[in-house]
Structure 1
Amino acid sequence: MSGEDARALPVEDARSIAGVPDGFGRFWTPYRMAYIHGEGKPRDASDAQCPFCAAPGKGDEDGLIVHRGRTCFVLMNLFPYNSGHLLVCPYRHVSDYTELTCEERVELGELTATAMRVERETAHPDGFNLGMNQGAIAGAGIAAHLHQHVVPRWGGDANFLPIIAQTKAIPELLEDARARLAAAWPAEGMEK
């Protein structure tokens, strides 16, 4: 039975598709299997298959790019923790913060601040998580290409799903969030 067929069934019937009904509802997120299996994840700093290196070569919509700067760019996280989860990346394929040039470090910081301002203007979050995981052991999903997370947060946005089901419900499509943020991004030179 396909996923579409299962969605058309009443909840009671959909629960029994995989076996005996157990009283638990299912929140299917098959798109996350690509992340779990590491598809498209570069193996090391020299890997030519890096999704952060590939994104700038695509159109903004296809690459989920919100803004292109001089040395860094901003894009949507393909596997977001929350709606509007952005990544700020240098164009250069470097893995460590200490490898950034002074110009890259400054622009990465400026784009992070602008991302926060644009999120506040368009989505009114109550706070943010900002972070950079350096190395796989520190939690970097793509350790070979440095990226700064900008995660908007709202009161009550965390519930039992991430803890119990290891699943996060995201209420906005990536394409819609990208369009919202890109439309509100200030013109070049107007970031401050």
Structure 2
Amino acid sequence: MSYQQKIYLASKSPRRRELLRQVGIDFEVILLRDARPRGPDVTEVVLPGELPDVYVARVTQEKALAAWNAMLARRLPIRPVLAADTTVVIQQEILGKPANRDEAIAMLRKLAGNTHQVLTSIAIKYQNQLLQCTQQSEVTFAALNDAQIAAYCDSAEPYDKAGGYGIQGMAARFITHISGSYSGIMGLPLHETTALLDRFKPI
């Protein structure tokens, strides 16, 4: 039986929306600002020396708190807030969303023929409660030539995704093996998300 209380999803990702609908969770999107006079609600800059698991957990917690405060400021109905963040890591290097074609090509060259980690952290904020967990999966790419990488980067697919690829899209043909959570690699590990919601007791 799915979690019954309506929640806010603090994400503009269509993949996360699709995944919540898949397991029957009722939600409403609450968007954080990408830019304000003083900057975005949450920056995704990696701090000096910050490890990947610490980074993704910190950014997720900041998103949950920012969305909670936005809900209060906008005088929206009080509901639990779910936030998530996904990062791709290869040899301890964090790969975010590519800003342009050159960055996407560089990322895919690093991933080609190698195994990398995908970390997705989720956090639920409600009143004085904050529950959080981080799920890790591994993805192995086949060797890719420059023509394959260039053709993929000519599509729109790489540019709103950590690591410059989407497992649910055309990049699926590059992947030889995964270990962990397919939905987590997409951006929201459903087992961990529903387990966290089942633990969560609204006040």
TM-score, normalised on structure 1?
A: 0.29
Mark the structure with the bigger radius of gyration. Answer: 1
Considering fraction of residues, name the structure with more strand: 2
